[in-house]
Amino acid sequence: MKITYFQDTDTLYIEFRTADVLETRELDENTLLDIDAQGNLCGLTLEHARDRADIPHVTFEQVAA
């Protein structure tokens, strides 16, 4: 997984898997979902990210099974 924040456009992109994107679906006017040919979620784009997410305080936690 890779998280990229584009400060100049206030856009957050979360890449869940590296794959060819077949389709980009609009969840709402500021949220886009990238889907591969098998229907798997590849990425998520959030526009106006600072207003919609707590960008300066991003953390990642992996919980063991």
* Residues 17-57 pLDDT 10s: 999 999 999 999 999 999 999 999 999 999 999 888 877 77
Beta strands in 1-65 (DSSP E): 2-6, 11-15, 23-28, 31-35, 41-47
Q: What angle do CA 57, 27, 36 make, to 5 degrees?
A: 95
Any idea what DSSP says for residue 8?
Answer: T
Cα distances from 20 to residues 4, 9, 14, 43, 47, in angstroms, run: 18, 24, 15, 11, 22
- For residue 52, the 8-state DSSP code is H
In this predicted structure, the answer to whether residue 14 has a pLDDT above a threshold of 90 is: yes
pTM (two decimals): 0.83
